[in-house]
Amino acid sequence: MTTIFEYLDAPDIGVSTRDSVDIVSYGAFTPAGRGLDAIARALVDGDRPVAVHKSVHDPEWPAIPVLPVADFVPETILGRKGLSRLSRSDQLAIATCAMAYGDTAATIEPGETGVVLGTAVGSTGTLGAFLRDTFEQRRPYLVDAGLFPSTMMNSAAGNTAIRLGLTGVNATVSGGSLAALQAIHYARTVMAAGHARQILAGGVEELSAPYAWAWQHAGMLTPGTALSEGCAVFGLLRPDDSRRTDSPVLGRILASDIRCADPGRGAFAVASRLAESIREVLDRAEVSPDSVTTLVPGAQSRRGFSALERRAVRDGLGGGSRRILHTHKTFGEAHGVGVALRLAALLATWQHPTHPATDLFALVTGIGIDGTVGCLLVAHPDLT
């Protein structure tokens, strides 16, 4: 069986707790299924999801392969009450956050827990249906007013807080391909300022016909790449939280960084900005490039971007071989939730019994189609 990793030995090293946050719980609904075990089966055991072509049965969809979330039945998870007025993004977010919060609810009060989600624009399906009605329905434009709340970008985070009774910080970050990374970065900032004890941070993205047509017309996907959806959320706590219980740490986010480059200045300018971002997180966390043993790239699904990402990583970290966690065949192009899915994939492989015991630090990188770049530096739980 072909492995997803390329192996590397690395020396022992300590880990700083300054401005870092621990991942103490998770929730994930992905094309691989529910939870980290499903992701591990897809990545490590080769049990990958199979893309489908919705256009075969529905002419409103383009001829593009898609990877919907597997085994997601909202009625069985959330119940039927009020479900019809929730968008698919809302449903995914509520179910995923409930999964993440359930592991810490016994020790952390709802008022101490916030929700920060990243998404490209929110529910593209609901937004598309609402806008379509404004053109097709009779005057005075008889749109379905019940759809309007779900057209708002912050609908998923807001409905999650209402459903779970979480009264802490609530925010939505729209950041294109790096939306989930920006949400985690925002959550770290809020926690460092003392405005929340725990935050459920991550991203959500839904499949819809308008969303698929946008990617089809853009022509940016590499041949055979499927468009996907999903939601991944992580329960974050500060390492110095004096009221923490002995809950296991899944990983420690040491640093995050987000930058913008002008694509008009050329592709190398974008790669240079990502290299700067990589060097910045290493400097902040006081981690040497040689200690980064795993890379989790995210640009393989877009034409030309993978080469830029590889160049940036090479410039930012220097030479040497490292394990590379390839996720694009499992997750496809996940856009706004991509970074969150890749972070979930990293945690899933770290928990897998076949994972090498020598892993130290992992770098999760992202590069957006608008020139936005960024990365996360994550420490293996054995170092916490």
Distances (CA, A) of 163 to 90, 91, 173, 355, 372: 10, 11, 20, 37, 33
For 304, the 3-state DSSP assignment is coil
Which of the 8 DSSP states describes residue 76? H
**Structural tokens at position 228:** 């996907």
The pTM of the full predicted model, rounded to 2 decimals, is 0.92
Third-level CATH fold of 21-237: Peroxisomal Thiolase; Chain A, domain 1 (3.40.47)
**Bigger pLDDT: 281 vs 359:** 281
Q: Which two tokens stand for residue 131?
A: 């806008």
- Is the pLDDT assigned to residue 10 strictly greater than 50? no
CATH 3.40.47.10 region(s) of the chain?
Answer: 21-237, 251-383
86 DSSP 8-state letter: S
Average pLDDT over residues 351-360: 80
Chain-centroid distance of CA 121 in Å reads 14
At 106, the pLDDT band (50, 70, 90 cuts) reads: low
Q: How far apart are CA 297 and CA 338, in angstroms?
A: 10
State the chain's mean pLDDT as an integer: 89
Q: How far apart are CA 289 and CA 279, in angstroms?
A: 8
How crowded is the C-beta side of 233, counted as CA atoms within 13 Å? 32
pLDDT in tens, 140-193: 768 887 887 888 889 999 999 999 999 999 999 999 999 999 999 999 999 999
Domain 251-383 CATH (choose: 3.50.50.60, 3.20.20.370, 3.10.180.10, 3.40.47.10): 3.40.47.10
Is residue 21 a contact partner of residue 236, using CB atoms and an 8 Å limit? yes
Tell which residue, 136, 198, 372, 341, has the closest CA to residue 270.
372
Residue 81's CB is within 10 A of a number of other CB atoms, namely 7
The stretch 113-120 carries a mean pLDDT of 96
CA triple 341-344-346, angle to 5 deg: 115
pLDDT tens for 258-309 read 999 988 888 889 999 999 999 999 999 999 999 999 999 999 999 989 999 9
pLDDT band at 125 (very low <50, low <70, confident <90, very high): confident
CB burial class (10 A; 0-12, 13-18, 19+) of residue 374?
buried
Can you say how many angstroms the Cα of residue 153 is from the centroid of all Cα atoms in its chain? 17
User: 315 near 309, Cβ under 8 Å?
Assistant: no
